[in-house]
Amino acid sequence: MSTADADARTPLTPRQEDILRAVVRSHVESGQPVGSKHIAGSGGLDWASSTIRNELHRLEEMGYLNHPHTSAGRVPTERGYRYYVDELLPREPLPSTGTDLQRTLGADVAHVEVDQTLRRLADAISEVTDLLGVVTGPPVASATVRHVEVLLLQPQIVTVVVITSTGDVTKRLFAFDRPVDPGVAEWAAAFLNERVQGLAVGARSLASRLTDPSLGPMERAFLEAIMPALTEMQEDRAVYMSGQARVLTDARRGEIAEIDGLMRALEERYALLAVLRGALDGSRTYLRIGSELPTDLSGVSIVAAGYGPPRGNLGAVSLIGPVRMDYALAIATVREASRALSAYVEDVYG
């Protein structure tokens, strides 16, 4: 065990906690190393600079701070941020997000498709925090069929629209060799709603419910042609992302390597979904810092919370950015967004 590991097991004194808090807050705000002169006399800390220097040195030995280059100042390490998040933030009131995310979803949510709502929320949480906002949609596999529409767009083009219990809307086009009888399309919509409403999407039982020996050849052939719209729905989650430009600002220039790595990693959304799955396993806020994440995402932090009805989460609201982020604001934002989105799901699709 290293000296830093051993020292990290030793509880910090109240003075060390105050100094660590001051370093974290100052570094998050400025992006610069924090020296003893900056801390002395700030925020009610009236100790002498020499006392603060000694405590900074001790916190560095314990692994909570780092001394970059030849600078006289210190910056928090991942361990320092973790202690700040776990031990210090819970003792303080979280900041106001400065916006009502429930109102951000809009008063007309009943007339807005879920994908538009999730995209709107990703925009809102990114704007509040200047971080990357990511919202994952409900898995299709967790939903049941709520309504089916069969629409004749052109004489030989049919679109099948499936609306699920979670509000997800999928649309699929089918082209036929010859014009489709409008009466068959209208009949198919009524038949499908009668047979498959309430069934789990993608379930094998869907196919069996669509098999009826009493149907005529025309109706049977038409159903077989459009059946993939119901039986081949992807069991995946949509990912709505916003704020790429916000995290690539001049203020983040020193962290450009980490952010660039993040952007490359997010191109493979399955890696992100695997990480965010942890946010769906409970009601607590999910927070991972730097090396606590898989290698592809190390160097950044993720703050997330699940949303959905009390019986189980449907997706996650998350903020992603450099390790140097305002964790208090990020936590407050994802919690408020989670509550707002949960209420939206319950009100509109409950």
pLDDT number for residue 68: 82
pLDDT of residue 111 exceeding 50: no
- pLDDT per position as a tens digit, 135-186: 988 766 567 888 999 999 999 999 999 888 766 677 888 999 999 999 999 9
What separation in angstroms does the CA of 177 have from each of 153, 156, 174, 227, 331? 15, 7, 10, 17, 55
CA dist., res. 144 & res. 62, Å (int)? 53
Q: Are 68 and 306 in contact (CB under 8 A)?
A: no
The stretch 230-256 carries a mean pLDDT of: 68
pLDDT of residue 190 exceeding 90: yes
Q: Tokens 């900074």 label which residue? A: 56
Q: Is 167 left (phi over 0), alpha (psi -120 to 50) or beta?
A: left
Q: How are beta strands 286-289 and 300-307 bridged, if at all?
A: antiparallel
- Domain edges within the chain: 3-91, 101-138+237-349, 141-231
pLDDT number for residue 165: 77
Top pLDDT among 296 and 307 is at 307
Domain 141-231: CATH class, spelled out = alpha beta
CA dist., res. 263 & res. 258, Å (int)? 9
Q: Which fold would CATH assign to domain 101-138+237-349?
A: Beta-Lactamase (3.30.450)
pLDDT number for residue 24: 96
What separation in angstroms does the CA of 266 have from each of 137, 158, 175, 273, 338? 16, 35, 35, 10, 22
pLDDT number for residue 115: 78
Supply the pTM of this predicted model: 0.70
Q: Is 310 left (phi over 0), alpha (psi -120 to 50) or beta?
A: alpha
- pLDDT per position as a tens digit, 57-74: 999 999 999 988 766 789
Please give the helix or strand (H or E) that residue 164 lies within, else none.
Answer: strand 157-164
Please give the helix or strand (H or E) that residue 336 lies within, else none.
Answer: helix 327-349
- pLDDT per position as a tens digit, 252-275: 555 655 666 566 556 555 567 777
CATH 1.10.10.10 fits 3-91, yes or no: yes
CA dist., res. 349 & res. 314, Å (int)? 12
Percent of the chain whose predicted confidence (pLDDT) is above 70: 75
pLDDT number for residue 117: 84
DSSP one-letter code for 200: B
pLDDT number for residue 1: 47
The two three-digit tokens of residue 201, written as one number: 């999407």
pLDDT number for residue 309: 79
